[in-house]
Structure 1
């Protein structure tokens, strides 16, 4: 099993917890596992619900303002052509809802940890931004 799919299986075993094991912190975990500084170090454990996440970070109204500076500070560069192992901010559509998520690129699809606890792979409506992590499948 590749390190990327080992990481996805780790996500599956975790209980979704805002500020600890949510879509942003898990993508930051992956960046750290790939050798980068933790982009979410200052966000961890600062919110415990969706409403607190919005109040503390404004992620749902302006996700790039939250994520982009932290990714840059960790040394991660934007990429226009994300590949498997890269991370990004994507828009996911559920019935009647469009919402940003931090997600892990699997190639043509992206994986996200849902609030239900499930790890879902989907084709996003839009990739708002993506950062190259430098993951190379052995």
Structure 2
């Protein structure tokens, strides 16, 4: 499956990664399609809210440590120059309304010069600054 086919699939935002994906399970679902192993398998269904998701990430020491831990388990390698299909930790504005917008770090998939990510309104591809990038190996 290529990135275009993956992004064309029906995607639904759902905390906990069951029946849909959140901002961290979305790139894990991409990894599952690419390499056949789900780096978020141990987490899916263990949380249902933003607060519970943040508590899990905090237990790992933050977003970078969380993603590094889970992607290393499936053999993904850190790279400096993102290419289409790479998984990234990006800086993004999140929040339900303009009033509660905050900058945060979320998981995304490189898509040409953009980053594809999921949010309650669906999939979007946006330019973003990345914090770290991992390349999947088959």
What range is the shorter-chain TM-score in? 0.7 to 0.9
Deviates more, 1:19-28 or 1:75-84: 19-28
Aligned pair 1:133/2:136, yes or no?
Answer: yes
Q: Distance between the aligned counterparts of 1:55 and 1:62, measured in 2?
A: 9
Given the alignment, which residue of 105, 112, 127 partners 2:117? 112
Q: Distance between the aligned counterparts of 2:115 and 2:32, measured in 1?
A: 19
- SS of match in other structure, 2:35: coil
Q: Deviation at 1:8?
A: 0.8
Q: Distance between the aligned counterparts of 1:36 and 1:76, measured in 2?
A: 13
Aligned pair 1:35/2:18, yes or no?
Answer: no
Q: Please, what TM-score do these two structures have when normalized by structure 1?
A: 0.84
Q: Please, what TM-score do these two structures have when normalized by structure 2?
A: 0.84
Aligned to 2:89: 89
Q: Deviation at 1:26?
A: 1.8
Q: Deviation at 1:46?
A: 1.1
Consecutive unaligned residues of structure 2, counting only runs of 5 or more, are none
- Asked if the contact 2:75–2:136 (Cα under 8 Å) also holds between the matched residues in 1, the reply is no
- Asked if the contact 1:36–1:75 (Cα under 8 Å) also holds between the matched residues in 2, the reply is no
Q: Distance between the aligned counterparts of 1:130 and 1:106, measured in 2?
A: 13
* Aligned 1:1-138 pairs, distance under 5 A: 3-10=2-9, 13-20=10-17, 21-58=21-58, 62-93=62-93, 96-114=101-119, 116-124=120-128, 126-134=129-137
Consecutive unaligned residues of structure 1, counting only runs of 5 or more, are none
* Cα displacement string for residues 79-105 of structure 1 (whole angstroms, at most 9, x for unaligned residues): 101100111100013665211110010
The number of equivalent residue pairs is 129
- Asked if the contact 2:11–2:123 (Cα under 8 Å) also holds between the matched residues in 1, the reply is no
